[in-house]
């Protein structure tokens, strides 16, 4: 044990944030001015810290085997310093890629996807409402102006997507994975589209149906509880969006997903795919136990692909990429805003979760989300994961039918329209 303690002490000296430890035998390693304090109930947990298995230490915290005192921002500053320079596990061999593909296929059946989405998004609407913006937009905001609040940045993101899609009054618009309806309702109310949303979350479906009725939009807005693979449109949609959804599709199903998008989209129409992507080409998951933590407690079945892999699948499906934008630091700021909001209401969050999930499970969920939000913010800041908006068109083959000869779609091949005053 002495060598383990010595190794831990040497690591603490190099951290940018002073950290103190309480050892399993009651002894302490005190650091002057400590901003973070960790208490371990077992030597096994301490060994995980010494091995820099940050995700495994996080699991021990969720399960009550480690105590943490201090702000999440300080904790993540210390955690980042304990990581290797790029803690990303890669798949480079054919055998590991084959196994990963088999796992992906098994994890993304219609039943499994529904279960996995409900595991995360149906935790508690009241819990999410505590730290999301008033529209409950659960995806990367767009801080077009540095002074924007989270709520303003989320509205800027909704409008940014609608602008990119060139939404027009009366167009048929589909939002795949429509969440709590933020984008669906923004598009309907600000751009006059006939809007359809689909989701696998029962809570979100009920919430959006209520909003549609409250706002008197039943004649041109609807939301369906269904999988994208089950959607059969009588006529194609003019525009299609998907925000924070393709991460749940799975690498094995990505080709099928974009083929379905192609079939649902009218020739000449536009689709915008907004999602988390990996920061490395041969990405498997975040290492140091972080990927396993997210799989177990937050997003079972979630898979991240590099943006080039996603774009290859869109091309295979017959879609032409016309604009791609990386919003990675925007998501870091968004996640810190969520984390700070949750940290400011921990007692209320605990009360809400205990009411819906019971005292023991509610406490675990809260501990998991505290680490998840702050840990993801750190990961986006470090560049280990990214966020891309990819705008694609379904070419209609008509060389001279649009504003610019050869465009073959509604895209004007200029970004001016995305940023001009409305």
Alpha-carbon gap, residue 253 to 302, rounded angstroms: 12
140 a catalytic residue? no
Q: Which two tokens stand for residue 98?
A: 């084959």
Alpha-carbon gap, residue 349 to 343, rounded angstroms: 9
Options 76, 117, 376, 377, the catalytic residue: 376
CA distances from 321 to 258, 272, 306, 396 (A): 12, 10, 15, 14
φ/ψ of residue 344, rounded to 5? -75, -10
Sheet harboring 28-29: ordered strands across? 28-29, 19-22, 36-40, 66-69
- What b-and-e string marks burial along 39-78, b requiring 16 or more CB atoms within 10 Å of the CB? bbeeeebbbbbbebbbbbbbbbbbeebbebebebbbbbbb
Name which of 224, 212, 142, 138 is nearest 175 in CA terms.
224
Alpha-carbon gap, residue 168 to 190, rounded angstroms: 10
Cβ(300)–Cβ(69) below 8 Å: no
Cβ(183)–Cβ(137) below 8 Å: yes
Secondary structure (3-state) at 362:
helix
DSSP secondary structure letter of residue 279? S
Q: Which two tokens stand for residue 264?
A: 């649902």
Cβ(229)–Cβ(260) below 8 Å: yes
Name which of 79, 25, 90 is nearest 57 in CA terms.
79
> Which region, left, alpha or beta, applies to residue 20 given φ > 0 means left and ψ of -120 to 50 means alpha?
beta
So which residues are the catalytic ones?
A: 376
């Amino acid at each position: 044990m002495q060598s383990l303690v010595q190794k831990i002490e040497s690591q603490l000296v190099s951290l940018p944030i002073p950290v103190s430890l309480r050892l399993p035998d009651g002894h302490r390693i005190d650091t002057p001015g400590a901003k973070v304090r960790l208490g371990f109930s077992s030597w096994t947990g301490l060994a995980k810290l010494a091995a820099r298995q940050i995700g495994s230490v996080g699991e021990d915290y969720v399960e009550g085997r480690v105590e943490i005192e201090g702000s999440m921002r300080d904790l993540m500053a210390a955690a980042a310093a304990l990581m290797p320079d790029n803690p990303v596990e890669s798949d480079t061999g054919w055998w590991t890629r084959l196994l990963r593909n088999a796992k992906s296929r098994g994890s993304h059946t219609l039943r499994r996807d529904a279960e996995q989405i409900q595991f995360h998004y149906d935790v508690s609407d009241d819990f999410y409402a505590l730290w999301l913006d008033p529209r409950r937009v659960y995806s990367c905001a767009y801080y077009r102006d540095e002074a924007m609040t989270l709520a303003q940045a989320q509205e800027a993101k909704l409008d940014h997507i609608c602008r990119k899609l060139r939404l027009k009054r009366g167009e048929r618009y589909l939002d795949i994975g429509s969440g709590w309806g933020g984008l669906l309702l923004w598009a309907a109310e600000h751009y006059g589209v006939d809007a359809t949303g689909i989701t696998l979350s029962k809570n979100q479906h009920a919430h959006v149906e209520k909003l549609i009725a409250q706002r008197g939009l039943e004649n041109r807005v609807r939301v369906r509880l269904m999988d994208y693979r089950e959607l059969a449109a009588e006529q194609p949609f003019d525009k299609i969006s998907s925000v924070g959804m393709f991460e749940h599709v799975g690498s094995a199903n990505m080709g099928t997903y974009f083929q379905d998008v192609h079939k649902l989209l009218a020739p000449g129409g536009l689709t915008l795919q907004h999602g988390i992507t990996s920061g490395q080409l041969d990405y498997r998951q975040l290492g140091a136990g972080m990927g396993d933590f997210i799989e177990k407690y937050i997003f079972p079945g979630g898979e991240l692909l590099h943006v080039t892999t996603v774009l290859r699948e869109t091309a295979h499906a017959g879609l032409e990429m016309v604009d791609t934008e990386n919003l990675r630091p925007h998501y870091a700021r968004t996640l810190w805003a969520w984390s700070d909001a949750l940290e400011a209401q921990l007692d209320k969050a605990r009360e809400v979760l205990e009411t819906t999930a019971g005292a023991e499970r509610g406490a675990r969920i809260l501990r998991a989300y505290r680490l998840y939000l702050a840990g993801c913010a750190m990961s986006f800041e470090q560049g280990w994961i990214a966020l891309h908006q990819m705008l694609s068109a379904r070419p209609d083959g008509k060389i001279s039918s649009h504003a610019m000869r050869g465009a073959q779609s509604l895209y004007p091949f200029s970004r001016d329209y995305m940023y001009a005053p409305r």
